[in-house]
Amino acid sequence: MKPLLLVATLCLTVTAQAQSGQTFTGVITDSECADANHARMRMGDTDAECAKACVEFHDGTYLLFDGKAAFKLSDQKVSAGFAGRRVTVTGTLDEKTKTITVQSMAAAR
């Protein structure tokens, strides 16, 4: 009976970890300024305005830039509200497409 209980506990733990996702921290930017350097585009007075303009007028998409790499974000609507800001994203990363399936997003502390 004890081995069965141990196996059940391990399965629940693995399932809970898979549902909780990974945590990523970085700046919400856009695909035109993937490294979060908006100086070359400067489509607004702030980084947030530039990112929003690039998405709206240049068919860009919101990305998360962690200081080294940029990741596509599955939830563009939520990302728009955090444009130009540092956030923490919880989700799962598809390594092949470099896309984070967003479960939640909040301003980073």
How far apart are alpha carbons 3 and 31 in whole angstroms? 50
What 3 state SS string does 54-73 have?
Answer: HHHHCCCCEEEECCCCEEEE
Count Cβ atoms below 10 Å from residue 83 Cβ, excluding itself. 23
- Write down the mean pLDDT value for the chain: 85
Kindly report the number of other CB atoms within 10 A of residue 96's CB atom: 6
Query: Which DSSP category does 35 fall into?
Result: T
**What domains lie within the chain, and their CATH numbers?**
21-107 (2.40.50)
Residue 94 is predicted with a pLDDT of: 97
Taking residues 1-21, report their average pLDDT.
Answer: 53
Beta bridge partners of 62: 30
- What confidence tens digit (pLDDT) does each residue in 42-59 have? 677 888 999 999 999 999
How much is the pLDDT for 46? 87
| Global confidence as pTM | 0.77
